[in-house]
Amino acid sequence: MTTRGTVAVLDVGSFSARLLAVNREGSLLDPVLSHKTRLRLDRALDASGNLRQEGVDAVVSAVRVADEVARQHGIHDFFCLATSSIRDARNSAEVVAHVESETGRTLRFLPGAEEARLSYRAARSWFGAGAGPLSVLDIGGGTLELAAGRGIHADFARSLPLGAREMMRTWRLDTDRPSEHAIAALRAHAIGRIREALGRDEARLKGFRAVGCSKVLRQLAVLAGRRRKGLGKTRELHVEDIRRWIPRLAQLPASRRAELPGISRPRARQALAGAVVAEALLTVFDGPVVICPWSTTHGLLLSLLQEPDGLRELSGRRATAA
């Protein structure tokens, strides 16, 4: 959404609500506003998949804070993107209605494949045309997004229910002593779903440069400690790094995982599940992943900056129940 030459997006996720704004004449490398409110929506989902009242209240508060901060900077409109933590909640429509009644702001959802395309757009802008064909991998809390292409737009995009938070819950990897059987079963399940989604494109996409656009992959890369030669501070993640760390993560309770390099306290419980899904991804794609600091939010900003008419329909789409 734009206001007087400024484009702004509020990304409401499981762990934070981040407001990012850039000038139309400026660059994503130099935002005019970046503000984050911490959230813990992962703790606010009940056993049936509903977002409990404390979670709804936290979202309302975060949107109000973002609105106040934006207005202080002369920004009166922004795109409110709600990701899978709200989109996949059973009571998502009720959450959206309540947030709108309390704040006047409308949370909006994008289809998973569209989120994948936006992550690709962000990675392509970050690495440039000279990077060649890209396969972009984005492990979120609820879903895994895959996108690939040779130009500015992806020609392949898929969204799979393989997010770190949901896999942690489904395969019961949130205990202090997760079973080796559950870890192996999740790995086999993830490899199967990824290969099914790639289909005939699997061999083609293996030849592309693999790029990771998510906190899960970024934190694992910090944990592994590798940096790509010739690309400054750019981090790289190899499958052997993850295979070495999975048994170590499995032996540690969440409180101890948070003491490791790169593993934040809010994401410590899902770190093992995220690592298993990441290992499955790198096994299928058969190569290392280069980490990109930009993801869906940046891709959305780029689209709003460069092709506002192309996102007019998305900008007018209210969030509805999944």
User: Would you call 208 helix, strand, or coil by DSSP?
Assistant: coil
292, 127 contact by CB (below 8 A): yes
Residue 299 neighbours by CB under 8 Å, 6+ apart: 117, 118, 119, 120, 121, 122, 125
Position 317 scores a pLDDT of 45
Q: What is the overall mean pLDDT for the chain?
A: 92
Mean pLDDT for the stretch of residues 32-50: 94
Q: From CA 67, how far away is CA 161, in angstroms rounded?
A: 31
CA distance linking residue 244 with residue 249, whole number of Å: 9
Tens digit of pLDDT for each residue in 58-105? 999 999 999 999 999 999 999 999 998 899 999 999 999 999 999 999
Closest CA to 140 of 193, 224, 218, 68: 218
What's the rounded Cα separation, in Å, for the pair 123 and 310?
A: 19
Residue 51 CB: number of other CB atoms within 10 A? 22
**Are the beta carbons of 239 and 285 closer than 8 angstroms?**
no
pTM over 0.85: yes
How does residue 226 score in pLDDT terms, banded at 50, 70 and 90? confident
CB atoms near residue 181 (< 10 Å): 9
**Structure confidence by residue, pLDDT tens digits, 143-190:** 999 999 999 999 999 999 999 999 999 999 998 889 999 999 999 999
